[in-house]
Chains A and B, each alone.
Chain A
Amino acid sequence: SQQGEEDPQALSIQEGENATMNCSYKTSINNLQWYRQNSGRGLVHLILIRSNEREKHSGRLRVTLDTSKKSSSLLITASRAADTASYFCATDAPSNTGKLIFGQGTTLQVKP
């Protein structure tokens, strides 16, 4: 698999349910970031977790990072219809140029 692979590719849930998206990567990283993209729009930075962190919270978002398994998860609690979007993980490799490598993304649909 490529750097920053996500699963599932698509997820459909009811409003109020939790949504969990997973990301795996292959190389060492400085940090891992999650982005959101509404259809046809730009990328919105959600959260950044550094390689020495294991868990991070921001509002209804919870991100975990397991560097031994080279994986991360994004949990959105109490989902809303407005959370419908594509979610991408991106890894920041230790190249000192800040280059991000994005995954294929998970398309989340939250039904009202």
Chain B
Amino acid sequence: EPEVTQTPSHQVTQMGQEVILRCVPISNHLYFYWYRQILGQKVEFLVSFYNNEISEKSEIFDDQFSVERPDGSNFTLKIRSTKLEDSAMYFCASSAGPGRGYTFGSGTRLTVV
């Protein structure tokens, strides 16, 4: 079964530092997403990415955040100047298209101290 791979599984960073969360989506998928889940809360949409550009982003996804597909396989989420409230699980997902099943990665637990 194809998987979405996320690294690292856990990252601890100092407040104000930049972090890059990495994802390898399923190879023949064209749509990529980042979601986050603050402990004990619901999963929240951050951004969708298609054809090398952002197709939709949420209010959470402000200038602090950016996404990139630097090569044919990786999909990254960069958080600049992290805040304590950025602590959460960040999930990457990919899909063959809207209305198709999504495959989520196991997540990166980000802890900002």
A104 at the interface (CB under 8 A from B): yes
Which residue of A has the minimal Cβ distance to B4? A42
Query: Which segment, of B67-75, B79-87, B96-104, faces chain A?
Result: B96-104
Instruction: Say whether B42 contacts A45, CB under 8 Å.
Output: no
Number of residue pairs across A and B with beta carbons under 8 Å? 71
Q: With A and B bound together, what is the CA distance between A30 and B95 in angstroms?
A: 15
With both beta carbons as reference points, the residue of chain A lying nearest to B98 in the complex is identified as A98
Residues of B34-85 contacting chain A, CB below 8 A: 35, 41-45, 48, 50, 55-56
Asked if A30 meets B102 with Cβ closer than 8 Å, knowing A99-B48, A100-B45, the reply is no
Give every chain A residue within 8 A of B45 (Cβ-Cβ).
99-102
Closest residue on chain B to residue A92 by CB atoms: B99
The residues in A between 78 and 112 inclusive whose CB is less than 8 angstroms from any CB of B are: 88, 90, 92, 95-105
5 contacts between A and B (CB under 8 A): A30-B98, A97-B56, A98-B98, A101-B45, A104-B41
B-binding residues in A (CB < 8 A): 4, 30-31, 33, 35, 40-45, 48, 50, 88, 90, 92, 95-105
> What would 20 more interface pairs be, CB under 8 Å, given A42-B91, A96-B98, A97-B48?
A4-B42, A30-B99, A31-B99, A33-B101, A35-B104, A42-B104, A42-B105, A43-B104, A45-B101, A95-B56, A98-B33, A98-B48, A98-B99, A98-B100, A99-B45, A99-B56, A100-B35, A101-B45, A102-B42, A102-B44
Instruction: Please provide the 5 A-B residue pairs with the shortest distance between their CB atoms, ordered closest to farther.
Output: A98-B98, A97-B56, A42-B106, A102-B43, A43-B104
